[in-house]
Each structure stands twice: as C-alpha cells, then as structure tokens.
C-alpha cells in the first residue's frame, strides 16, 4: 500500500470534512458530532439511535473520545499540559503533573478492574497516547514508560511469584510510578544489564543508557541478561541506594528527566522476577513491537499540522499532508491489530517498519514546514516550532532497533534527488 502526500487542490473535500484549525480546536473536533438541522417536533421522542460501530482501527481510536477517561484526559491535556509544554521542557516534568495523572486514573488504567483499572480496550489506550503526545511529549514519555508496564505486571497475578511480589498491588492501584530499563537488551552482548544467578535470585549490574522520569520513579522494571544461560530476567524492583544517576543534558525532550543510571549489585529475589525467557524469544518479540509506528507519531504529527494550519502561509501544507498522515495512521493501526489478533508478526514486519520510517520522515518534513511558516519567529527556543523539531528528532531514535536504523538510513540514502 503506497501513501503519498496529496496536492492541496485534490484534497479539498477531505479537508473540509476534517476542518483544519489551530491546536486545541482541532483535537476537540476529531470526533465531534455534526450539529443537526432543526427538526419538526414529533408527537413522541424516539429512542436515540445506536451509533454505528467503528469499521476500522483508526475509527475505533477516534470513537474512544466518548469514553469518560479519554474525555477527561483530553480536557486536561488541552487545558493544562499543552499550554505549559515549553515551560515543562525547560523545567522538567513536575511531581504535581504525575499527581494529576494519578488523579485522572492514568497510572493504572490498564490494571484489572478490581484494582481500579478503567477497563479500556486497545483503541482507547491508543487515543490516550495520542492525546498526551499531542499536548506534551515530555509528559507522554514518562507516562509511556509506566503505563504498558502495569499491564505486563497485571499478567503475572496468577503466577506464584507475581502473587507474592510486594510491589505488584501498589503498582496496580496506581500508587507507584515505574521507570523502565528494557532497551539495553538490544545491545547484548555489550552494553546490556547483566544478571548473575545466586542461590535464591539474581544480582544485576550494568548501566541503563536511558532512564526517563528519574527523581519521580519509585520503582523500576529491569531487563537483564544472564550470559551463562542467555535468558532475559524481567524484574520489578524498588529504586534505592544501588542506583547512581548521571544527567544526560539532552537537547530533545530535556524535560523528561532522562538520565543514565548505573546499577550496582541490585539483588533480585525470585519473587521479584516477573518473567524469565530465552534471549532469542525476547529479541523476536522486541523487534516486532518496536517495528510499529506508535501513537506518539500521530499525536505529535497532528499537533504540528494544526499549528501549521494556524499560520497564514501554512494552510496549503496542512491541507496536502493531513490525508497522508491519516493514511499512515490507519494502516499502522490496521497492521498492529493484525499481529495482536494472532497474525504472523514476521509477515508484516517489513511493511510496519516502512510505515514507521515514513511517519518519522513526515514529522521531520512537517516540523521544518512549521519553522518555515513562522520564519524568524520560529527560531527562538521559546517557540513551539523549536520544541516540536527537537521532539521529532527524539522520535527518530526512541525505541530504535538495528533493523529500524538500517531502514531509516537506507531511506535517506535512496531519497537523494537527482540534479536537473
């Protein structure tokens, strides 16, 4: 399936339907019902019609705005997070923001209902990711390290170790914010966390390249490799004196509290292990998951498009690129669902990777367009054009596997224009 940006004159019907508008209004109108024409009064009020079910994954994500948690999150994201995004990037995500997320129910929305979970499906969860990425990618990153891990932990409840883990219940109730140290397994046999088997557990050592939310996280999920057995140990452990953090001074997502963390002799009792699986199995699953174009691309992409549309000279760009972004989103969600529903992940990996690379390229182009549309106004550090440009750079490498890096560089090498 080939998607290409459309020329403005060919998209006027679609653009009219979507009604491009500035940032807040555009998100609010995504699923807003049309205002019906006045009707002649009827003698009896008919029962309200049942909305037609969403027919595509993307439509189901849009329809999730009707869910109370999604609606409350949208309001918070637009009214609180988005206006403060530049300040947050300078001053870092605050503890108050985490408390706001906790109050909304976003720290355990994927937990079982008996622990206060929201009972959301994958479509509503994607919409939450889109909304937070739209409003503030710094906040999204810290939350996105935590939220999926809650679902993973919930899956251990029926296991012997999961049921005895002292941190599982506080996490599922949204009482603890978790940091994630998983991606360094990709660097095996060098640069990964190492687990050595002891009598009743493991001892973990090494350096976590990227750890977001440092100073706010109270526990961490670590993925370490036992080199003797080539197994990956996934463990939930408290953050204590065995951790040493070094600031990274990132130029992109500098408000995300992302630091390099040295782990020194962290003891992982058997009861703290969430899973132990062969390295090859872990790598296969990781490559498949990382091959998806995540909702953060489409949340941030829509934010940039909406800001371009708000510029007097940017309307043509926004009209041309909005259908393309929608097309990428629809296909990415369709392919991700096929895997989640039992399809062969290897069969679609090449196309999923291609979509992710193209989504990144689209955001790069759009962030450049926003700077161009604003001219000199788009160059100061306190302009959102610069914030978005840096955020797009972050997404180029966040969750990057070797296969993805190769695909990205191949796409760049193959896109050199010919001199006329």
Residue 135 has pLDDT above 80, yes or no: yes
pLDDT of residue 162: 52
Query: Residue 263's pLDDT band (boundaries 50, 70, 90)?
Result: very high
Tokens read off for 74: 């949208």
What average pLDDT does this structure show over 138-166? Answer: 86
What average pLDDT does this structure show over 15-41? Answer: 39
CATH number, domain 57-172: 1.10.540.10
Per-residue pLDDT tens over the stretch 382-397: 999 999 999 999 999 9
Query: Quick one: 149 exposed, middle or buried, by C-beta within 10 A (0-12, 13-18, 19+)?
Result: buried
Per-residue pLDDT tens over the stretch 174-221: 999 999 999 999 999 999 999 999 988 999 999 999 999 999 999 999
Residues 209, 206: Cα–Cα separation, whole Å:
10
What average pLDDT does this structure show over 376-383? Answer: 96
pLDDT of residue 14: 29
Find the length of the chain: 420
Residue 39 has pLDDT above 80, yes or no: no
For the domain made up of 291-413, the CATH class stated in words is mainly alpha
Residues 387, 76: Cα–Cα separation, whole Å:
20
Per-residue pLDDT tens over the stretch 225-252: 999 999 999 999 999 999 999 999 999 9
- Average pLDDT in the chain: 89
Contact 77/132 with Cβ under 8 angstroms?
Answer: yes
Per-residue pLDDT tens over the stretch 273-322: 999 999 999 999 999 999 999 999 999 999 999 999 999 999 999 999 99
Residues 107, 109: Cα–Cα separation, whole Å:
6
Q: Where are the domains of the chain?
A: 57-172, 178-278, 291-413
Contact 257/92 with Cβ under 8 angstroms?
Answer: yes
pLDDT of residue 111: 97
Is 291-413 the same fold as 57-172?
no
Residue 20 has pLDDT above 60, yes or no: no
Domain 178-278 matching CATH 3.40.50.300: the answer reads: no
């Amino acid at each position: 399936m080939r998607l290409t940006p459309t020329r403005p004159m060919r998209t006027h019907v679609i653009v009219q339907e979507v009604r491009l508008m500035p940032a807040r209004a555009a998100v609010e109108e995504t699923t807003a019902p049309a205002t019906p024409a006045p009707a002649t009064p009827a003698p009896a009020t008919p029962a309200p019609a049942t909305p037609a079910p969403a027919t595509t994954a993307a439509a189901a994500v849009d329809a999730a705005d009707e869910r109370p948690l999604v609606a409350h999150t949208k309001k918070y994201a637009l009214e609180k997070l988005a206006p403060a995004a530049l300040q947050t990037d300078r001053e870092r995500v605050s503890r108050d923001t985490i408390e706001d997320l906790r109050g909304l129910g976003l720290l355990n929305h994927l937990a079982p209902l008996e622990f206060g979970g929201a009972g959301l499906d994958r479509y509503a969860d994607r919409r939450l990711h889109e909304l937070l990425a739209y409003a503030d990618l710094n906040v999204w990153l810290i939350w996105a390290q935590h939220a999926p891990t809650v679902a993973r932990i919930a899956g251990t409840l029926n296991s012997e170790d999961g049921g005895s883990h002292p941190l599982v219940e506080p996490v599922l109730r949204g009482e603890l914010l978790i940091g994630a140290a998983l991606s360094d397994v990709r660097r095996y046999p060098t640069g990964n966390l190492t687990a050595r088997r002891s009598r009743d557990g493991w001892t973990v050592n090494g350096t976590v390249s990227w750890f977001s939310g440092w100073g706010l996280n109270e526990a961490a999920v670590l993925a370490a490799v036992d080199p003797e057995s080539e197994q990956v140990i996934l463990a939930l452990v408290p953050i204590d004196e065995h951790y040493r953090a070094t600031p990274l001074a990132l130029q992109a997502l500098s408000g995300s509290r992302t630091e390099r963390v040295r782990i020194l002799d962290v003891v992982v009792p058997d009861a703290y292990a969430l899973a132990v699986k062969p390295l090859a199995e872990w790598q296969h699953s990781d490559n498949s998951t990382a091959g998806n174009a995540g909702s953060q691309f489409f949340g941030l992409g829509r934010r940039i498009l909406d800001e371009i549309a708000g510029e007097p000279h940017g309307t043509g760009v926004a009209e041309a690129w909005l259908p393309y972004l929608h097309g990428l989103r629809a296909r990415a969600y369709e392919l991700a669902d096929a895997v989640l529903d039992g399809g062969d992940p290897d069969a679609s990996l090449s196309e999923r990777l291609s979509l992710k690379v193209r989504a990144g390229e689209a955001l790069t182009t759009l962030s450049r367009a926003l700077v161009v549309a604003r001219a000199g106004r788009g160059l100061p550090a306190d302009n959102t054009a610069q914030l978005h440009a840096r955020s797009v750079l972050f997404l180029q490498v966040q969750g990057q596997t070797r296969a993805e890096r190769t695909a990205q560089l191949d796409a760049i090498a193959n896109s050199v224009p010919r001199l006329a």
